[in-house]
């Protein structure tokens, strides 16, 4: 199944929301800013090492 990011928005100072479509379902995900930062850093490092 392909995931598609529809919209990302800042909810407040500490949280972000992401609206995604996956296999015909719409998902609303809420992430702490620190969690997003950590995941982006991991993703960048994995691409840098390949």
**Which residues, other chains included, contact 30 with Cβ-Cβ below 8 Å and sequence gap of 6+?**
11, 15, 16, 17, 18
Q: How far apart are CA 27 and CA 42, in angstroms?
A: 23
- Domain extents in the chain: 3-49
pLDDT in tens, the chain (50 residues): 678 888 888 888 888 888 988 888 888 888 888 888 888 899 889 988 87
Does the predicted TM-score (pTM) go above 0.85? no
């Amino acid at each position: 199944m392909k995931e598609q990011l529809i919209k990302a928005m800042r909810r407040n100072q500490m949280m972000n929301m992401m609206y995604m479509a996956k296999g015909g379902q719409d998902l609303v995900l809420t992430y702490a800013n620190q969690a997003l930062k950590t995941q982006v850093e991991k993703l960048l490092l994995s691409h840098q090492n390949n």
